[in-house]
Chains A and B, each alone.
Chain A
Amino acid sequence: MSLRRLLPALLVGVTLLGSSALSAGEARSLAEDEATEQRLVAISSELRCLVCQNESLAGSQAELASDLRREIRTLIRDGRSDREIIDFMVSRYGDFVLYRPPLKATTVLLWFGPGILFVGGVASLVLYLRRRNRALGDSALSADERARASALLDAAGGPGSQPVTQQAPRE
């Protein structure tokens, strides 16, 4: 992109907002109605095309996908809500068409799994660090273990680093 095109690029926002003035020869939108089309894209990118390997209804060029997009357009024009349109699809093709699986008994693990993993991961991290510090610094260690631990500590620094000083764990 050359310098003389920097300015228009920076001013994009302005054009994005107000590109309503149609010049002569300005191409017509394929959709008869912009709002319908935007809703169509929003809904159909959450739905899976059934005949394709793994594509959304919005992106697919398969015939069934274009039939279903037409069907969704009709439903939008009939004034159905997004919820109703999605239910229309689910009642015919099942939960399989939803790229965002609904929260129900079978998907609890899917939706809460990452959160549980996160909390569990951070909790076990903290627990581990505390236990580790206790294991390394506790006087209840046997003499043998203490010797081993200090051997470890000496070794740990590797070439070029200072011996580890005994510091109170900050908890």
Chain B
Amino acid sequence: MIPEIGNLALILAFCVALAQGFLPLAGAHRGRAAWTAFARPASRALALLVGVAFACLTSAFVDNDFSVLYVAQHSNTLLPLPYRIAAVWGGHEGSLLLWMLMLVVWTLAVAQFSRQLPEPMVARVLGVLGLVSAGFLLFILLTSNPFDRLLPAAEQGRDLNPLLQDPGLILHPPMLYMGYVGFSVAFSFAIAALLSGQLDAAWARWSRPWTTAAWVFLTLGIALGSWWAYYELGWGGWWFWDPVENASFMPWLIGTALVHSLAVTEKRGSFKNWTVLLAISAFSLSLLGTFLVRSGVLTSVHAFATDPRRGIFILLFLGTVIGSSLVLFAWRAPKVGLGGRFALLSRESLLLTNNVLLVVACSSVLLGTLYPLLIDALGLGKLSVGPPYFDAVFVPLMLPALFLIGVAPFANWKHARVDEIVRALRWAFIVAAAVGAAAPLLYGRWKPMVALGLLLAAWIVLSALFSVVRRVGATRGGRSFLATLGQQPRSFVGMHVAHLGVAAFVAGVTVVSGYQAEKDVRMEVGDTVGVGGYSFRFNGVREQQGPNYRALVGDFELIAEGRTVRKLFPEKRFYVSSAMPMTEAAIDSGPLGDVYVSLGEPIDKSRPDAAWAVRVYYKPLVDWIWGGCMIMAIGGIIALSDRRYRVRLRSGSTAPSSAGALARHT
């Protein structure tokens, strides 16, 4: 009964979404207040219906209702409750429903927090979101219904893939989808602005916090996924340039560009077309990611089970949504004004350079990801594009962008002077260069790439520090330094915090790729192995029973300076329902680095109590990678708390600025 309620809720949700799509858009076009007023209640009803559907699927999982095909395929009575709940999004159909849930949550948030916006604008934004929702709901209903029945019901479920039975599954997909889907709000604002012709600084200010919020979620989602892969896959990698990872990284790159170009559009009214195009692109890439993951056109470690019908549907949807947006863009953009004047060297031009670099980097990732498909489609054979290619191409493109992070905050809007920037930053650069040159020596071997990476990290930190000191000094006027610091606009503080996150990230990546150490050894009970200044003593393997698996648990002592620091217990798990053994690494994490041990195979398979193949790693500063992402996200959150997003913006909501008015009348 409950699955039928869920199914019905989805069908009703589709109808509501259609109404939410067309009625308010038509109302805004014709100027009918009654129609536009429909947008908010409709989005609440939609959220309720999708919420009900999601709850129904969750309850089917909790109750082990194996008469529902999707539940039978992705759960098992032995599966612990938290994983039974997370298993809701452990497969294609349910993860799509999660996607849908995120979309209605964003829609609801826009409906609730948009009181200061003019009514037609709200109607258009919610209308576009309604159309996107309708598309996804149709996709679920036609090709991927999670409520399809399995009759007669299965005795037992097939179980969730053991790789997914991890806290990572509980957190990573919801975060990632919040980010992916969040760009639909920026997209809807862009389309609403194009539809109304009101493409101005006020529009940029309205869509900016939404974009930042989506960017924060995407940053956290990607970082969580990377961390999960690091500890779960058992070979210590944190990024593999897999097509599915690229699919999440490309919207992030464009989203980052968008966050920066929105700043210019809001403050200076420039780059409006460019900003709109980025907003459309960020969401297109989210949709493209969905297509790549779910259509089976590319092979990936993470891909879902594929069905060509799904690929065709998403492609049609992608073509319709993005194609019509780009037609609208091509029609409206020529009439949009240029905005404020600025010199070839100015804050504006530097931010635009950052945008160009990020877009080129994103295009390169897209090129590498789709190139095998292109060659295959042209009948020129098969090839693979993997990490060596992406590292070779991506890193050089990012180096100038990292350098510019330090420069841009010192460039004035409209017109900047090279000599002033050099004067303000020369000491920062000298000290950064010294740090870059010296720091690698701490790790024993001097490597040029490490020196360069650490130079850039130090450069970002120091220039941020200089920028803060300069700003506080200029606005101080007799008050204490800290008090003045506390009164700086949150957007300014947030920007620098996010940049510090980038610095931490760069330092982590640089040091771990330069100095990680790895050993594959065979260990008898009592043997020790040294790595990265630590040693491990192997005390043997014992058996342990998990809720739905049997595990062989290795007992290792981590020894530093002759003393046992702690014990580590890597596992080899054999899940009842699957033949594949799973490796659970044991990691001792710390601010200076991780030591990581994972069990291989017993040397003699019939004697798991004797010698084992063991892999140990030393990963210096590896946690800075994810810590850096956290700091970036915190920077975003601080920027979101800026006063001007909280107060009612009378100037923005009552009078559309003259640039927008102009665009409409030409």
Contact = CB atoms under 8 A, between A and B. Distances in A.
A166 B415 CA distance: 11
A25 to B, nearest CB: 5
B82 interface: no
B300 interface: yes
Contact of B359 (A54, A121, A166): A121
B664 to A, nearest CB: 13
Interface string A117-154: 11001100110011011011100000000001101111
B297 to A, nearest CB: 13
A22 to B, nearest CB: 10
Interface stretch (B149-157, B360-368, B462-470): B360-368
B515 interface: yes
Contacts of B201: 155-156, 158
A148 B341 CA distance: 13
A79 interface: no
A166 B341 contact: yes
B338 A149 contact: yes
Interface residues of B, number: 94
Interface residues of A, number: 81
B382 interface: yes
Contact of B344 (A5, A109, A133, A149): A133
A111 to B, nearest CB: 8
B381 A30 contact: no
Contacts of A106: 375, 380-381, 383
B166 interface: no
A27 B529 contact: yes
Interface string A153-171: 1111111010011110111
Contact of A155 (B243, B526, B659): B659
B334 to A, nearest CB: 13
Interface stretch (B109-117, B211-219, B437-445, B629-637): B437-445
A95 interface: yes
Interface string B559-593: 01100010000000000000000000000111111
Contact of A9 (B385, B444, B532, B662): B532
A9 B267 CA distance: 47
Given A94-B382, A117-B360, A155 B200 contact: yes
Nearest to B361: A114
Interface in A19-41: 19, 23, 25-31, 37
Nearest to B343: A170
Contacts of B548: none
Given A106-B375, A158-B201, A153 B340 contact: yes
B326 interface: no
Given A26-B528, A27-B521, A156-B269, A54 B590 contact: no
B606 interface: no
Interface string B215-245: 0000000000000000001010100101100
Nearest to A171: B344
B651 interface: yes
**Closest 3 pairs (CB-CB, A-B):** A13-B444, A1-B590, A99-B386
Given A30-B613, A94-B382, A114-B367, 6 more contacts: A9-B532, A13-B441, A46-B388, A113-B364, A114-B363, A121-B356
Interface of B: 200-201, 233, 235, 237, 240, 242-243, 266-270, 299-301, 303, 337-341, 343-345, 349, 352-353, 356-357, 359-360, 363-364, 367-368, 371, 375, 380-389, 392-393, 397, 414-415, 441-445, 515, 517, 519-524, 526-530, 532-534, 538, 560-561, 565, 588-593, 613-614, 618, 620, 651, 657-659, 662, 666
11 contacts: A25-B524, A27-B614, A45-B387, A107-B383, A109-B371, A110-B389, A125-B353, A126-B344, A135-B338, A151-B659, A158-B657
Interface of A: 1-2, 4-17, 19, 23, 25-31, 37, 45-46, 48, 52-56, 59, 94-101, 106-107, 109-110, 113-114, 117-118, 121-122, 125-126, 129-130, 132-133, 135-137, 148-149, 151-159, 161, 164-167, 169-171
